[in-house]
Structure 1
Amino acid sequence: MGSAPATITADVQATLSVRDLTVSLPAGMERAHAVERISFDLISGQILCIIGESGSGKSVTANAIMGLLPRAIRVAGGSIRLGDTDILTADREHLRGLRGRVVSMIFQDPLSALNPLMTVGAQITEAMMAHGVGTAESRRARAIELLTEVGLPDPALMFHQYPFRLSGGQRQRVMIAMALALEPSILIADEPTTALDVTTQAQILELIRDIQRRKGMSVMFITHDFGVVAEIADSVVVMEKGHIVEQGPASKVLRTPDHPYTKRLIAAVPHLTGQDRVPPTTNEVAPILTVENLVKTYRSGSKWLGNERVVPAVNDISFALQPGRTLGVVGESGSGKSSLGRLLVKLMDSDSGRILFEGADIAAMKEDQFRALRPKIQMIFQDPFASLNPRSTIGHILTVGPMAHGVPHDQARQDAVALLTHVGLDGGAYGRYPHEFSGGQRQRIGIARALMFKPKLLVADESVSALDVSIQAQILKLLDQVQRETGVAMVFITHDLRVASQICDEIAVMQKGKVVEIGPPSQIFLNPKSAYTRELVAAIPGEDPGA
C-alpha cells in the first residue's frame, strides 16, 4: 500500500511538502510504523482534508509537522519542508520561532488543550508575548479583536473568563483565536468539530473557511467525517494504517473513489434516510416508560447577593416509550439532552413530574427503594474510557454489578464471556484492561456491561459521537441487533441527526430544556414543524434533506 505523491504544476505553489515521511512506533505495538513513506503537498491558499479511521496516522502526521511528537515516537526517515526549512533537521529554537508565527494548530479537545488556571485573554496574549509581539495594551486589543473575529459574544467580558465557564463550541472558537493570533500562513486543525452539535459545527466550519479565504491561509484539516470533507475540502488525502491509499481533488475522491478503503469509508457515512424505521415485533403494547411533566432546574450563585443564575435544564417534558422501540433525543449542547438521560436513570433527582417505569413512579423513590429496579434501567455513557475503571480487568467490570445483585460468580463469568463475543470481541478480552482497547472496542465493552443485567430500558448518551464512521456503523448495527433480539427499549441521546435517522422510531427535538417537536424521522427531517428543527437539519454537513 504505497502512497502516490501529489504532483505540483508550475503555477501552483506548495507551502508545505511532506516526502517519504516514516514515523516509528515503540517495539511491541501492533505495527512497526505510525506512518510509512507518506508524501503529499499542502497548496498555498487551499484546504487539504486528511481523512481516515483512528490509528491511521492522521494526528501523528500533524504532530510531526508541528515538531510535537512524544519521545517514544521518532521520525525514521523522510522530510517535511516548510519553505526553505526542513522541520525534521531544524534546531529547537528555530522550530519554536515557526510555531504559532508560520504554522499553527487547533487541537482536538479544547478543554484539555486550554490551561484551566488562565483566563482566555491571558492564553491568547501569551502566544504574542512569547514571540515578542507588541505591548501589553496592543496585545490585549489584538486578543479582543480575535475574539470578535471568531464570533464570541461580548469579547471584552470573554477576555476575562476561564475555560470552564465556556461551552464546547465557545472553547473551540478560543482555540481558533489563539491559533490565529500571529496570523500564520498554515493552519492545522485536528478534528476541531468532532464532538460539536451540528449548528456549532456548521459555524466553526464556516468560520475556518471564511478566515482562510480572507487571509489566504493554507489549511490542513484532519477529520473522520466525510460530511465535513464535502463541505470545505479542496483536496483530500485518505490514510489507512499509516499509509496514504488515495489522494486528489475533493470532487474526484468523493464522487469516484478508486481505493476499496475509500469506498468503504464513504459507504459507512450515515445519511438522512427520511424513512421511518420498521420497529422490532413485540407482543407488549403498554409503554415501559412514561414521562409526565418532568422538570429539573440548575441554580448557581446567591439570591441574596443578586447573582443567582437559574437554568431550566429540563422544562415540563412528557413522552411515552414502548418496549422494543427507540426514542431519539436531539438538540444543541446545553439543550438538556444529557440532563434528561441522567434523570431517567436516577443519577440525579428531578424537581417535579413523574417517571413511570413499568407503572411505578421512580422519580418519587428513595435510592434504597430504587436499587432493586436499577438493573432493569442501564446507561451507555458518552466516554467509555472515563466510565471504565482503569485498574479493573474487563471481566471484573462486567461481573461486579451482577454479583452484587446475587448472581453466582461462575454464572456471571459465563454471561460476560458470551456477551463479549456477542458485541464482537473475543473471550480473551475478559482478562485485559481498558487501556488495551481502541475507542470503538471500549464502547462495545460499555454496551456489554449495560446488557449484563438484561435491562428493559437502555439510555445511550452520545454513545457513538466520537467514533469513526465505520466503527459508528458497526455500533449502530449492534444496538439494532440487540434490540431486535431482546426487545429492550432505548432512549438514544445524540447531536448527530444523521445517526438519529438511522436508529430511531421517534425523535424528540430539545431546545433550552423544552421539547419543541416530536415525531417520526420522516416528519423531523423532511417536513419539520418547528423553525428550530429546520435550522438543525439545514446545518448538517454534506446533506441535502430534500434530495
Structure 2
Amino acid sequence: MSNDLSPAQGSAPVLTVRDLTVSIPGLRDRPHAVRDIHFDLMPGEILCIIGESGSGKSVTANTVMGLLPDVMRVDSGEITFHGRDLLKMPESERRRMRGREISIIFQDPLSALNPLMTIGDQVREVLDAHGVGSPDSRAARVVEMLTEVGLPDPALIQHQYPFRLSGGQRQRVMIAMALALDPEILIADEPTTALDVTTQAQILELIRKVQRRKGMSVMFITHDFGVVADIADRVIVMEKGNLVEQGPAEKVLHAPEQPYTKKLLAAVPTLRDTDRPRIDDKPVVMEAKHLQKTYRTRSGFLGRMREVHAVNDVSFTLRKGETLGIVGESGSGKSSMGKVLMKLMPADGGELRFEGEDILSLDETNFRSMRPQIQMIFQDPYASLNPRFTVGQALTVGPLAHGLFTHDGARRRACEILETVGLSASAYDRYPHEFSGGQRQRVGIARALMFSPQIIVADEAVSALDVSIQAQVLELLNRVQRESRLSMIFITHDLRVASQICDDILVLHRGKVVEFGPPSQIFRNPQHEYTRTLVAAIPGAGH
C-alpha cells in the first residue's frame, strides 16, 4: 500500500454512494452516464476511479460535487456525506459545502483558472466566497497555501497571471485553491494527465503529502494504472457507466478478476527491453546541424532583456522509415523544436536539410511546394480540428489548396484514408463533436496522411488519450509507417510510449541534447543524471 496514513479500520465511511444512476438525454450510445453504481470512501483513504473516456468517472465526481450539467439528471440513488444525502440538499447548502467540506481539482487548469485574475486573487476568492477570516488573514493564507503546494517565491508569484505559469505550476495553483479551506474530501479529476513525468511525480507526491498531513479522504480519477500503482489504497474500475470491479489496489493491480480490468492493465505501455530491428543503409530524409532558437522577452518598457535558449545546438539524422523520439519535461524545448522542423517558426541558426536542401534558407513561397511532404499531428484533437468543418472538409481543404487532387479525387482519397485509420467512410460527412477523443486523433492522423508525406512530426499525439485508445493509435502509427515507409519525429513526455515506437531517442533539457541513442540504452542504462531522473519518475516504475 502506497499510503502511510492507512484508512481507519472499522470506521464509518466519509462518503457513501448507493445505486446511483444518471441519465443522458437524446439519442446516445447508451441511455445512462452511470448506472447503479455503489462504493464507500473511507477516512484517510485514497480511492482511485479508473476507466476509459466515457466510462462515467467524471460524471460520478461531478454528481458528488453537485456540478452536473443541466442536460444530465440523477434518476435514482443517494450520496451521503456524514449521514446527509447530498442529492436532497438545497443548492444553497451544497454551495456552502463546496470547497469547505468537499473540494475538487479539475483536469485542465488553464481552462479552469480565470485568465484575467492573478493567481493570488483566485485563491483569495475562495476565502472571500465563504467569508473566512479578515482581509489581512486572507492575504497571509494565500501566501501560506502557495508555499504549501511548492510554488517558488509565493509572495511574488501570487501577482502573476495563469498564462505566465507552466502547466505544473498552474496545477499547483488549482490544488492550493482546492485545499484553501481544509476540506475533508478532495476529488482530483485527472490532475496529472497532460503533465510530463517528473511534474506528474511531483504533483502525486504533493497530493499524498497533503493528504497524510491533513488526514483527508481523496477520490482520484485517472485512466493510468501506473498512477494507480503509485497512489491508490483502493480501486474502482468503470466501463460505460457500470462499476465492473472494485477492491484493494494490490489485488486489482496484480489479480484482477474482470476481463475489462485485464484489458486496461494490458494496454498500459511499458519500457521495451529490445530495440526495433533496423537497417543502417536507409537513405537520410532529414538532417539537422547545430539548430538554434532563442526567445527574447523584455519585462516592462525599460526592463532587462531576458533570453531563453529553447533549441540550443541540436543536431540529428532521420532516416527513411524510422522514428526519432524527442523527450523531455515541459520547457525542455520539444515543442519549439517541432515548430522549427515544420517551419512554423524561424530558427536563429544552424542547418535543416530535407532531401539534401537546407529548408531554413527558403522563404515561405519557395518552401510551399515542399510543405505537403512534412506534416504534423497535433497534441489536442479537440483544438486542432475546426468545429465548423466536417471531417471531409478538414481532410480535403489542404490537398485541394495545393492542387494535389480534383474534388472527386480528394473525396475518394479521404474515404480511403479514413478506412486506413480505422474509421468508416461515413465519417466524411460528420462533424468533430460527434466523435470521441481517440476518434478525433485518428482524424488528425488521416489529415496528415492525405498528403502522402515523407515525414510526420507528432507533437504529443497520444498524451491526452486513455491507455487503451493510446495503444490503438500507437499500433495504427506503427502499421501506417510500415506500409508507407514514413519517417516520424515523435515528441512526447511519456517515456514508456517513446520506448514502444522510437528507433532512437533524443533527450532534451533546457534546449540542449543531453543524451542520444536507442531506447534500450536511454531507458535501461541512462548515462546522464537528467535522463535518470526522467526514468525514475515514470508512473508505476517502482511496482
TM-score range, shorter chain: over 0.9
Q: C-alpha separation between the residues in 2 aligned to 1:51 and 1:192?
A: 13
Alignment of 1:51-200 (within 5 A): 51-200=50-199
1:84 Cα deviation (Å)? 2.2
Instruction: Say yes or no: does 1:316 pair with 2:323.
Output: no
1:273 Cα deviation (Å)? 1.1
Contact between 2:46 and 2:218, CA under 8 Å: does it hold in 1?
yes
What does residue 22 of structure 1 align with?
A: 21
Q: String of CA shifts for 1:136-166, please: whole Å, max 9, x gaps.
A: 1101111111111111100100111111100
**2:495 aligned residue (497, 511, 520):** 497
Contact between 1:274 and 1:525, CA under 8 Å: does it hold in 2?
no
**Greater displacement, 462-471 / 410-419:** 410-419
Q: C-alpha separation between the residues in 2 aligned to 1:32 and 1:196?
A: 33
Contact between 2:457 and 2:489, CA under 8 Å: does it hold in 1?
yes
**2:442 aligned residue (444, 450, 458):** 444
Alignment of 1:59-458 (within 5 A): 59-279=58-278, 285-301=282-298, 305-406=302-403, 407-458=405-456
What secondary structure does 1:14 align onto? coil
Contact between 1:58 and 1:239, CA under 8 Å: does it hold in 2?
yes
Q: String of CA shifts for 1:438-494, please: whole Å, max 9, x gaps.
A: 100000000001001100001000000010000000000000001111111100000
Q: C-alpha separation between the residues in 1 aligned to 2:427 and 2:277?
A: 34
1:9 Cα deviation (Å)? 10
Q: C-alpha separation between the residues in 2 aligned to 1:231 and 1:475?
A: 25
Contact between 1:51 and 1:225, CA under 8 Å: does it hold in 2?
yes
TM-score normalized by the length of structure 1: 0.96
TM-score normalized by the length of structure 2: 0.97
Q: C-alpha separation between the residues in 1 aligned to 2:8 and 2:501?
A: 47
**Greater displacement, 392-401 / 461-470:** 392-401
Contact between 2:8 and 2:42, CA under 8 Å: does it hold in 1?
no
What does residue 31 of structure 1 align with?
A: 30
1:129 Cα deviation (Å)? 1.3
Instruction: List gaps (5 residues or longer) in structure 1.
Output: 1-7
Amino acid at match of 1:511: H
Q: C-alpha separation between the residues in 2 aligned to 1:318 and 1:49?
A: 43
1:291 Cα deviation (Å)? 0.2
Superposition CA RMSD, Å: 1.4
What secondary structure does 2:151 align onto? coil
What secondary structure does 1:72 align onto? coil
1:365 Cα deviation (Å)? 0.4
Q: String of CA shifts for 1:518-539, please: whole Å, max 9, x gaps.
A: 0001110111110000000001
Contact between 2:45 and 2:218, CA under 8 Å: does it hold in 1?
yes
Q: How many residues align?
A: 536
Q: C-alpha separation between the residues in 1 aligned to 2:155 and 2:474?
A: 44
1:314 Cα deviation (Å)? 0.5
**Greater displacement, 216-225 / 114-123:** 114-123
Contact between 2:325 and 2:489, CA under 8 Å: does it hold in 1?
yes
Amino acid at match of 1:489: S
Contact between 2:50 and 2:236, CA under 8 Å: does it hold in 1?
yes
Q: String of CA shifts for 1:169-189, please: whole Å, max 9, x gaps.
A: 000000000000000000000
1:306 Cα deviation (Å)? 3.0
Amino acid at match of 1:295: Q
Contact between 1:457 and 1:490, CA under 8 Å: does it hold in 2?
yes
Contact between 2:8 and 2:44, CA under 8 Å: does it hold in 1?
no
What does residue 5 of structure 1 align with?
A: none
Please identify runs of 4+ aligned residues in structure 1 that moved more than 2 A. none
Instruction: List gaps (5 residues or longer) in structure 2.
Output: 1-6
1:134 Cα deviation (Å)? 0.5
Amino acid at match of 1:457: I
Contact between 2:8 and 2:43, CA under 8 Å: does it hold in 1?
no
What does residue 517 of structure 1 align with?
A: 515
Contact between 1:272 and 1:543, CA under 8 Å: does it hold in 2?
no
